Chain A
Amino acid sequence: RKEVEQDPGPFNVPEGATVAFNCTYSNSASQSFFWYRQDCRKEPKLLMSVYSSGNEDGRFTAQLNRASQYISLLIRDSKLSDSATYLCVVSSSRDGSARQLTFGSGTQLTVLP
Chain B
Amino acid sequence: DTAVSQTPKYLVTQMGNDKSIKCEQNLGHDTMYWYKQDSKKFLKIMFSYNNKELIINETVPNRFSPKSPDKAHLNLHINSLELGDSAVYFCASSQVAANTEAFFGQGTRLTVV
Contact = CB atoms under 8 A, between A and B. Distances in A.
Interface of A: 31-32, 34, 42-46, 49, 85, 87, 91, 94, 97-103, 105-106
A98 B31 CA distance: 8
A91 B98 contact: yes
Q: How large is the interface on B (under 10, 10 to 19, 20 to 34, 35 or more residues)?
A: 20 to 34
B102 A101 contact: yes
Contact of A32 (B42, B53, B55, B99): B99
A28 B98 CA distance: 15
B101 A46 contact: yes
A94 B55 contact: yes
A107 to B, nearest CB: 11
Given A43-B105, A94-B55, A97-B55, A49 B41 contact: no
B98 A31 contact: yes
Contacts of B98: 31-32, 91, 99
Contacts of A98: 31, 48-50, 52-53, 55, 96
A49 B48 contact: no
Given A42-B106, A49-B101, A100-B33, A105 B42 contact: yes
B43 A87 contact: yes
